[in-house]
Structure 1
Amino acid sequence: MTADPSRDCQAPAGGSGHRFDAERRWDASMSLGFAADWNASAAGRTRMIRARHHGPLRVQRPFYPETSHRHPGTMAALGEPCHVYLLHPPGGLVSGDRLGIEVGVERGAHALLTTPAATKLYRADSHGVAWSQTNRLRVADGGLLEWLPQETIAFDGSRGLQRTEVELEGSARCLGWELMALGRPASHLPFASGRIEQRFRLVRDGRPLWMERQPLDPTHPRFVGRWGQGGASVQATLWAVGLADLHEAVEAVRGALPASARWAVTQRHDVLLLRYLGVSRNEAWDLCSAAWQVLRPRMAGRDACEPRIWRT
């Protein structure tokens, strides 16, 4: 792949976006910061204290849809969460695009980030130039981040690198998911060419808890083999770290989801993992949403509150 994601948060080189060869590059970046406001009138409400952007990445104003009542969960409840929608007006990534998103949640803060629609990964150009997207999520001791983007749809011929890095400090908590739909089977356009690489890295105080690298190449035997992708066109991973009783949470999620061979819930070190491999975006979304509803009271002391944008 030709894209270099290590420069995703840097300004583009002069004129690079106007090239028409393999060196073409369009950069966009965003840096968000969240902190709890413990003034008497705010009562711990999380504020967005930083919102810097370069290129076509934006946020709408912060939303506060949750009432002040709290669920009597096992984890201490934080102040009122801040909901933020990440906007990428182009709606998808094309050859040369390089997106970099950085999120920082300070001590005692609680932020929920999502997207208004699916992200589309379009077919590579005639030069095979790749796109890249890097998400760097940092949560300080005592903070909580919910990373809940809507699904990603990879068009046939797409080429790129998708990377998510989560850095936790002390007792920080994080719950997130990633859903990927490969191709557009309903339009008889399967993911038959191209290559997408996914990387995930989750550490606490510098100690790795979960690291993974997955190439999605339809020409590789793994893509159709029963020991690998098995021909599935939709996959999803949900992670939760910072649960007080991990074993109890795993059993609670298993008990809340419908029996199926297409999903499994496990624990790896201190991380709860829900995996889905199948052919239905809606099934994957419903499973992740149901698991989130089980896990959120255990992590935040609050019932799940769906962002309104999911209903539009």
Structure 2
Amino acid sequence: MTAIETSLDATRLMDSGHRFDGGRRWQASLELGFVSRDGITRMARARHQGPLRVQRPFYPEGRGAEGRPGPCHVYLLHPPGGLVSGDALTISARVEAGAHALLTTPAANKLYRADSHGVAWQQATRLEVADGGALEWLPQETIAFDGSRGEQATTIELAGSANCLGWEVLALGRPASELPYVSGRIDQRFRLTRDGKPLWLERQPLDPDHPRFVGRWGQGRASVQATLWAVGLPDEREAVEALRERLPASTRWAVTVRHGVLLLRYLGGERNEAWALCEAAWRVLRPRLLGLAAHTPRIWLT
């Protein structure tokens, strides 16, 4: 083999992710688009690269009381089941006017321990909803293993009267296996805008060595956290009161409204409790926001 051939082979390895520094990348992306045709939401675009897929669209809700077709349910599939050092996942979805999509996942996402070089993973989610569209973003929980290092960024762009309801549930470590999250770092970013105007901007570093992680003014050593948002509620105050009345009373969660964004937060130590809280809140908020009773995606029951 000549020196040139050896150099070319090395370049191919570098390009494919077989390297051991911060430049290593195994990329995967998924781009979805939803439109309304004849009053029915259709998945008009599904472009992927790497191990990200979707199952066929489902319409389990049929037609509502007013004869309107139900939303399009789509399950996002990531066959590896988690992120390792060097992974770079990008998910984008756009819902056009008159369309209504519900996106979820078949299982928990796992963030594995970084390799010996400390190479981070990346995950970026971009959700766009046009004027008159509606999107529900309801992924199952994420579990971060001890030593995981990476960046999560969620961007939500709404236009006009667009509605959006979603959540993120994150469990740090595996306490049941006596493997708590005691090392690593996860940087979370949220950005939500309407017509280009920022409504909710947040950055949260999750680092066990940072005072915020242990301080009662911050994480307070909690191993599970969840954030639920709802944008477009016609009566935000009534929705908050309904949540306070119907959800189990606890000091581990609170709800507020800022700039038209209802935010419900959970901070505790039980992954199942956080999930149950978000699902119960969804059942309260969905009829108020979207005029539809909650319909459990069947993938959650398998």
Aligned to 1:297: 287
Q: Does 1:65 align with 2:60?
A: yes
Change (3 A) 1:287 1:210: same
Report how far residue 69 of structure 1 moved.
2.2
Q: Does 1:306 align with 2:264?
A: no
| 1:229-274 C-alpha deviation (Å, 9 max, x unpaired) | 0010000000000011111111111111011000001001101010
In the aligned structure 2, how far is the partner of 1:70 from the partner of 1:230? Answer: 46
Give the AA of the match of 1:20. Answer: F
Q: Does 1:54 align with 2:49?
A: yes
Report how far residue 80 of structure 1 moved.
2.0
Q: How does 1:1-312 map to 2 (within 5 A)?
A: 15-38=15-38, 44-70=39-65, 79-312=69-302
Structure 2 residues without counterparts, runs of 5 or longer: 1-11
Moved more, 151-160 or 60-69: 60-69
TM (norm. structure 2) is 0.94
Tell whether the 8 Å contact from 1:222 to 1:229 is kept in structure 2 after alignment: yes
In the aligned structure 2, how far is the partner of 1:79 from the partner of 1:242? Answer: 21
Aligned to 2:9: none
In the aligned structure 2, how far is the partner of 1:109 from the partner of 1:13? Answer: 43
Tell whether the 8 Å contact from 1:78 to 1:300 is kept in structure 2 after alignment: no
Change (3 A) 1:13 1:149: farther
Change (3 A) 1:13 1:276: farther
Report how far residue 22 of structure 1 moved.
3.2
SS in 2 for 1:48: strand
Tell whether the 8 Å contact from 1:78 to 1:110 is kept in structure 2 after alignment: no
Structure 1 residues without counterparts, runs of 5 or longer: 1-11, 39-43, 72-76
CA RMSD, Structure 1 to Structure 2 (Å)? 1.4
SS in 2 for 1:142: coil
In the aligned structure 2, how far is the partner of 1:28 from the partner of 1:127? Answer: 22
Moved more, 231-240 or 291-300: 291-300
Report how far residue 17 of structure 1 moved.
1.4
Identity percentage of aligned residues: 74
| 1:116-150 C-alpha deviation (Å, 9 max, x unpaired) | 00000000011110000000000000000000000
Report how far residue 78 of structure 1 moved.
6.1
* More contact order relative to length (CA 8 Å, sep ≥ 6): 1
Moved more, 245-254 or 198-207: 245-254
Aligned to 1:7: none
SS in 1 for 2:122: strand
In the aligned structure 2, how far is the partner of 1:266 from the partner of 1:309? Answer: 30
Change (3 A) 1:244 1:211: same
SS in 2 for 1:18: coil
Give the AA of the match of 1:308. Answer: R
Determine which structure has more spread, i.e. the larger CA radius of gyration: 2
